[in-house]
């Protein structure tokens, strides 16, 4: 739900077309043939940029898997620890481990929320704007040196 929410936030913040172009960059492939006379390196860069978008799709599923496994692993390890302590000594010894599990839960919630902020920030940024600003900086530096 969190990764889906981040993607919906990205659609609302930068638009559906730009969000779609993060994953399937048709603009780069279409512009490859018009820019080849000006910059022949576009024949190498454009397919790489297209495949980076496909890797972004894989990274979305990796986010889901990593968050799920992290939360499941921590909860399962805590339950095994509590069950082991309760099996060894029933009443007094497990109490500090209960407080430890509360602390671990708070830390995991903090890590989860920080990762969500990172995912929402990434989904709200547009890669094309960064690329355009780098191109403008490059042209300004070339003009300054000329």
Tokens (6 digits) for 106:
């708070």
With a cut of 80, say whether residue 15 has pLDDT above it: yes
Q: What is the mean pLDDT of residues 100-123?
A: 89
The pLDDT, as a whole number, for residue 53 is 82
With a cut of 70, say whether residue 138 has pLDDT above it: no
With a cut of 60, say whether residue 133 has pLDDT above it: no
Q: What is the DSSP letter of 38?
A: T
Percent of the chain with pLDDT over 70: 86
The pLDDT, as a whole number, for residue 28 is 78
Q: Are 86 and 94 in contact (CB under 8 A)?
A: yes
Tokens (6 digits) for 34:
């018009």
pTM: 0.68
The C-alpha atoms of residue 142 and residue 89 are separated, in whole angstroms, by 74
């Amino acid at each position: 739900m969190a990764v889906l929410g981040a993607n919906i936030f990205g659609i609302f913040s930068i638009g559906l077309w730009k969000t779609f172009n993060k994953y399937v960059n048709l603009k780069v492939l279409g512009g490859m043939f018009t820019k080849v006379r000006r910059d022949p390196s576009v024949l190498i860069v454009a397919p790489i940029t297209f495949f980076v978008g496909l890797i972004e799709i894989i990274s979305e599923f990796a986010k889901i898997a990593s968050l799920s496994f992290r939360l499941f692993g921590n909860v399962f390890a805590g339950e095994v620890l509590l069950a082991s302590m309760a099996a060894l000594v029933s009443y007094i010894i497990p109490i500090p481990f209960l407080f430890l599990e509360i602390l671990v839960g708070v830390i995991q919630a903090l890590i989860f929320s920080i990762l969500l902020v990172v995912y929402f920030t990434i989904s709200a940024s547009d890669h094309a704007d960064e690329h355009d600003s780098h191109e403008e900086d490059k042209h300004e530096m070339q003009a300054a040196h000329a």
